[in-house]
């Protein structure tokens, strides 16, 4: 099972499902930029820098016009 880690402001969290990722983002990180790190099957880490909007949507931190769907992350 893959794990996705959220890192932001010293409040790191590990998520094991899309549902737990969504809940964690909305509860802790609304209107804040975070790094979401996905560990791939190969062992490499892929990092996404996103900002959590007040409606729960994720947008790229450095290109806020581009949305990042939760389906981007595999578990």
What pLDDT, on the 0 to 100 scale, is given for residue 1? 65
Q: Give the pLDDT band (50/70/90) at residue 9.
A: confident
- Provide the whole-model pTM: 0.90
Task: Point out which residues pair with 29 in neighbouring strands.
Answer: none
Q: Please report, for the chain, the start and end positions of each structural domain, with discontinuous segments joined by +.
A: 4-68
CA distance 52 to 32: 6
Buried b (16+ CB within 10 A) or exposed e, 31-58: eeebebbbeeeeeeeeebebbbeeeeeb
Q: What is the per-residue pLDDT across 11-70, written as a single tens digit (0 to 9) for each?
A: 899 999 999 999 999 999 999 999 999 998 888 999 999 999 999 999 999 998 999 999
């Amino acid at each position: 099972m893959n794990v996705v880690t959220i890192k932001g402001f010293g409040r790191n969290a590990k998520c094991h499902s899309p549902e737990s990722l969504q809940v964690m983002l909305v509860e802790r990180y609304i209107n804040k930029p975070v790094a979401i790190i996905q560990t791939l099957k190969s062992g490499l880490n892929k990092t996404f820098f996103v900002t959590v909007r007040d409606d729960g949507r994720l947008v790229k931190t450095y290109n806020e016009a581009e949305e990042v769907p939760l389906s981007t992350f595999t578990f």
